Amino acid sequence: MFVINCPYCGERDQSEFSCGGEAHIVRPKQPTELSDDEWAEYLFMRKNIKGVQFERWNHAHGCRKWFNMVRDTSNDKIHAVYKMGEKPPVI
């Protein structure tokens, strides 16, 4: 149970948040132009890193804002949180 520093609300208990999986996967602008394989790559393929991972999180039971978070999945250390649209930090 970690403590997450919501970029809008500040530090809150993990139970207020939900994880939305890997971050920085952009929805293709022209899906119809893509082959089945390319579309499947966007739709299904996710990394599951042991180590530093960029993730989407939602302050579901708080401000309901989505934001990004850099977390080490091997020890749950949170390296950074940043708003949607902001440039990912270099870790």
Partner 1 sequence: MTKYRINKTRFVDQTKTVSFTFDGKKYHGFEGDTLASALLSNGIHLIGRSFKYHRPRGIMSCGSEEPNAICQINDNTDLTEPNVRATEIELYEGLKASSQNCWPSLNFDIGGINNLISPFIPAGFYYKTFMWPKSFWKKIYEPLIRLSAGLGKSPTQPDPDIYDHKHEHCDVLVIGGGISGIISAKIAAKNNLKTILIEDKNILGGSTIYQNNKNFIIDNQKSNEWLMNEISELEKLDNLIIKTRTSLAAFHSYNYLLAKENISDHLPIDKKNGSIRQRLWKIRADKVIVAAGAIERPLIFNNNDRPGIILANSVKKYLDFYGVSTGLNNIIFTNNDSAYETAVSLFEKGISVKIVDIRKKSSSNIVKNAEDQGIKIYWNSTVVNTFGYKKIKSIEIMNLSEDGSNVTGNKHKIQCDCLSISGGWTPMVHMHTQSGGKLDFREIDQVFVPTEKSENHINVGSCNGDFELEEIVKNTNNKVKKFLNINEGGFDKISVLCSKESEKKNIWLLPNTISESKTKSFIDFQNDSTAKDIKLALREGFKSIEHVKRYTTTGMATDQGKLSNMHALGIIADTAGVKMGTLGTTTFRPPFTPLTFGAIVGRSVGKFFDIVRKTSIHEWHVQNNAKFENVGQWKRPWYYPINNENLHEAVQRESKAARDSAGILDASTLGKIDIQGSDASEFLNRVYTNAWSKLGIGKCRYGLMLNEDGMVYDDGVTTRLGENHYLMTTTTGGAANVLSKLEDYLQTEWPELDVYLTSVTDHYSTASICGPNSKKILKKLFPNKDFSDEAFPHMSYQDAMIDKIECRIMRISFTGELSYEINVESKYGKSLWENCIVAGEEYKITPYGTETMHLLRAEKGFIIVGQDTDGTMTPIDLQMDWIVSKKKYDFIGKRSLYRSDTMREDRKQLVGLLTDDPNEILEEGAQIVSELDKKPVEMIGHVTSSYFSPNLNKSIALAVVKGGKKMNGQKLIVPMENKNINVTVSDFIFLDKENKRINA
Q: Which residues of this protein are in contact with partner 1, per CB under 8 A? A: 1-3, 13-14, 20, 26-28, 30-32, 34, 36, 39-40, 43, 56, 58, 60, 64-66, 75-76, 84-85
Q: How far is the CB of 56 from partner 1 (least distance, A)?
A: 7
Dihedral sign of CA atoms 32, 38, 40, 46 in order: negative
Number of H helices, E strands in the chain: 1, 6
Q: Which residue in 63, 83, 85 sits closest to 7, CA to CA?
A: 83
User: Quick one: 16 or 20, whose CB is closer to partner 1?
Assistant: 20
Q: How far is the CB of 39 from partner 1 (least distance, A)?
A: 5
